[in-house]
Structure 1
Amino acid sequence: MTAPFDLALLAAPARRRGIANDLAVAVPLVLAAAGLAWRWQGMAAALAILAFGVALAAGLAVYRARRFDARWVVRRLDAGRADMEDSTDLLLAAPDALGPLQQLQRARLLARLADETGAALAPAWSGRAIAAAWTAGLVIAAAALLWPAARSGETARPDVAAVPGGPPQLVAQQLRIVPPAYTGLPPRTINGLDARAPVGSRLSWSIEYRPAPGAVVLTLLNGERLQLARRGDTFTLTRGLDRSMLYRIGSGDRGAALPLLHRIDAIRDTPPVIRVLDPERTLTQKTSGQRRWTLNFEASDDYGVAAVARLRVIVTKGEGENISFQERTTTLTGSGPARKRRFSASLDIAALGLTVGNDLVAQLIVTDMREPGPQAVRGPSLILRWPPDQGVQGSGLDGMVKTVLPAYFRSQRQIIIDAEALQRERRRLPADRFSQRSNALGVDQSILRQRYGRFLGDEVSEEPSLPTNDAPVAKPKPAAEAPAALPSGHALDDGHDHAPAKSAVFGNASDVLAEFGHTHAEGDANLIDPETRTLLRQALDAMFESERNLRQSAPDQARPHAYVALRLIKQVQEATRIYLARTGPDLPPIDPARRLTGDRKTLGSPRLAPPPREAGDIDAVPAAAWRALAGSGDVQLGALQRWIDRAGGRVGDPLALAAAIDTVARDPGCRACRDRLRGLLWQALATPPAQVQRRATGDAAGRRYLDALR
């Protein structure tokens, strides 16, 4: 098959014209932006903007030139040449795919395009856009060149205003910060004197005055003075950063204005943080057949965690007071980035010597890369416990084995969770093991049911009766201590409370109940309203059904009843009338003889004594300053500064408070400065303790009445 005619060759001149046209519009604008960057940011910024702008303009021009393709040529030929007879699209198809008439027409078109080079198809130049772009570029470049010159490193607001013929003028200021090597932060230079830097950084000041003064001094707020070294018209000083500071930099010449305060905040290195990924719980029970214990940790730090950590492993042995500990330490190597490393360990339980009834405790110790003195952090202690064997009591009686239960009652929600987990493990557990665990859950359900049943007056049998017909032998009592006659079938030690015997009255309902039965309408059961009692009884019935299915090794059938019990228990817990006061307040009897007599001998003073206040109250100074700042009077700023030094950690931002004090000292009449200091003092003052407000004395008639009583 013959290839179609390549119309893309005719589009090449148009693509070149389009790229040149776009570059002619974009280049002057890029040059203007580079000129502005060179004027205010230096040659490096200008070259960077120039390279980026030219690359961006060229890329956009090439992308826009993609529109000049073969179909564009077809449209241009059909629109510009009548001899093409609107049939140029025949050149896009292969000759073998055309019919006889189409092939004849295609041959005619090729003969007519024999001398076509494509130059006539190229678009015209965008004269107006090019002229506007070059005009704008020239105007911007001229404005940048004619802008007043600024020296390198000069800030927009020097400390001292430029006054011809006056004291030395600050014309340049720079602060170079070199963080400690362990932080991994690069050095940086700022055109200012306020900064934030890590503790341990090296600070280098570079100050330039015109004319140069005799000396330049850096004065800290605490009075410490450091003189800068002179190199020509530039003064330099290098100092380590150990804590946050407020300072001034100024010349020692007389008549010079007081420089402003500058602040440098020292960022302290925080200790690493350890997070346990596996296991999910601090206490883990050893499972049957488990040979290894897998631990996964994640340690993060603001600058980086050391690649090597220590794993502290402790094995306990013995019981009661005869417990011994075996401690060993292993080394772990972390993986991942320095700021967030992961540590993993797989402990061999048998090799560590863990036995039945003992614990295996693991704790990760990591350090950061601070120099000097890395910070070490201990992670949480993880415990692997090998549960002791329950054992079988050698009493020889079936059903009398007493299992060891936890010291706490299981909640209904926990029973549901354990039952669902047991149902999921059913296929993997032997039948006898499954039955034992299900029966244990039934026992827990029974204990919980009896616990709630006590609120309804249900009886709970604490000890099983003996499986024989032998009755316990009671010790004989002296005649003087012989109990009074009790109702039939009951004794003093049967677990119920009995009042002293009295003669029964024939036909009295309470005497009949006392003689032939028990009453349970006392205690906690009598403190629940009937509606709540109904809900609690339904919950107990659902617990009983759940217990019955669990004891029959059917946790799937017990689950619906357990959910019903949980829902009803929640409704009972949200009831508003469950607990009532059993007895009323025991008030002293009223003496009618003293009423309305005004006798107040045995009564306390109605006046409340003011709260005790120490003589040297630390908040007395800021409180007095806070009140003084509300007006226009003088404030004891020196005493306030000494209070800041004594307050220590009570003040959230002592540097901001000290700077506000300095601002008020420089301009006592500044209302905004006084309000700012007053607001900071209010935040620093301790919250006063709550005091009882005295009652209003009342009107004139009420006061006369109270005076008459006195």
Structure 2
Amino acid sequence: MKERDGHIELKRFHKQWRAYALISHLFIALAISVLCVAIFRRFEQVSFLWTIPVCLVILGIMAWWTGLMKTSTRDIGRFLNQSFPELEESADLLVKPAESLNVLEKLQVIKIEDKLSNISASRLFSKRLRSSALVLLAGLVLAFGISTLTFSRNTVNANSANKTIIPTVPDKILPGISSVKLRITPPAYTRRSPKTQSQFSVSAEEGSSLNWQIRTTQRAKNIKLIFNDKEAIPLVSANELGTLWSLHKTVTKSGFYQVDLGGTLSDLYKLEVIKDQPASVRIIRPAQYSSIDFGEPQRTSLQVQIDDDYGINDAFIAAIISSGKGEGVKFREQKLSFQQNFSGAASYKLNKTIDLKGLGMVPGDELYFYVQARDSRLQESRSDIYKVTIQDTAQLMNMDGMLGGVNLVPEYFRSQRQIIIDTEKLLKERTSISTEAFNSRSNEIGVDQKLLRLRYGKFLGEEDESEIGGHQEETSDPADFGNPEAILDAVSHKHDQAEDATFFEPELKAQLKATLSEMWKSELQLRLYKPAEALPFEYKALRLLKDLQQKSRVYVAKTSFKPPVIKADKRLSGELDKIVQPQNNRIIDPKDNSQNSLKLTAGILAAKKPGRTLTASEIVTLNDASRLIASRAASQPASFLGSLGILRGIIRSGSAAKVPQRDVAELEAVLQKIIKQESRSPQAQSGTPANDLAKEYFNNLKRNR
């Protein structure tokens, strides 16, 4: 009876372990599913209700992976044996049938049954549950953080998409102004929605409409906005109390402005206009200069990447087909469209296969094309011009131009042509001859190709097939270590080395090596009885040879000179009064006074002392520098507006010592940036009396000679 009770107790532990393990898996699956949904919400707006099915799927995977349902009471007994030494590694005896136990095993079962009822296995199982609960808590915290970051990221992306950066540092507002509301309406081409801010500094798209609403604490007589120290626009009162004022303006260029409230000027506020850039068109494939050899498909794959600030409205391919040669060349223009519906997205990756035969091109023709795009503001931009050529095999077989010029390469061009002629003849007679004769003739052509390749290899120092491709490296002998002759042999120049025994330029040598490589491929296919596959390599080798022959020519341009007619009555007369000495006149502009004011301003800032006030002349100099910096700030407010405010603050205070050292350092850096290097102008040499005396002595010596 006690054996039965022990077995029941072990089953109870088994069920308890399964329950704790299932709850632990559920906590972990819930943590993973919440994190996955939170991360996915960064890209798509989905509901957190998706956590339930995702959690069930993960829970099923974990239960199958860990074998939760396959765990038996015997496994629980082993687990208890490892966790509780007092069971004496005998808990698995409770699983065995009573009749199968011997006397010692029965005594051991009776001994451990009392201990089994006293152990607290639930406390052991709950440790895993506590760890899973901590994982769930951490997952919930991370999911909440990711959701919060997602909202901030979307806000930043929306601001970036609208091309507007809201200032993080609040503007200094005049005491008489209680609030400001600035509504920015981007132009239609941006496809952006209007936005509102409560600061004066603004960054807006080019052509945006700005609407200011300024509310004052008391009734105001008039309010003006002064743009770039030049244009003053009064605001219109929007209520009877005179405390709400409004102004509407369309901005097209950057600058700065101030608020004039009854004669009191505010700080300088940035007015940054973001220019709309034309679309960027980049052709990824094909290469800028490509050619289609014999046997290759007469088509080219085009891959284009187009990006724009706000959106693409249209894009097409402008193709120009050139056919003929010399004075008989003809051009045809054609417009090719992409299989793409442009919906105004900011980026497109376009693909198109251009069928050259469908365009009416034949061997020898050339295709020039570029991609043109139009953005949402109807600004047009285009890529570079790309060229695709279909090689003309008939022109390669032409013998024109082979006899003229200085030819540094061997006169074996006809042999390669003969190989091509023999190969094409063999292909035409393939159906009329036996297989043995076909294979034999293909092998014979391969032998001819080998002989031609070896002939050209001699010009690269390859005397036999063992040196194909250049000089072979030799392994060093350990016995040569420290041998001076071996060291000199490795670094000295030798005329009998295969790599250097040539009279070609490096470019010609590289092209000749490429020709030998094509001959290798042609010979391989001919030896395999595949002349049709060898023909493209033969044509390419011939094309490289012809190009090599043209590069080795020496061209001398014709020159002609027609001397002036010599008058016989003036010849040898010795009259030189009509010969005028040439003069080179140069006008030197005076120095820019604005540069002097900037330099003087830098000196005033460097000489500041505590308690020292500016003089009247120094204030005039600072005002001149202020006007120059203001002209720069009108075009680049982000770079010069802060320095302009610092300089005007120094002028108002009447002393540079009252300004923080950090602001003065910033102003000095801007001054050094504006001050440009003066060009040196010709000046008279100033010599000392000793130099003048030496010069006079030297002139007298020359005169006496």
Higher-RCO chain (CA-CA 8 Å, sequence separation at least 6): 2
Give the TM-score of the pair, scaled to structure 1: 0.48
Give the TM-score of the pair, scaled to structure 2: 0.49
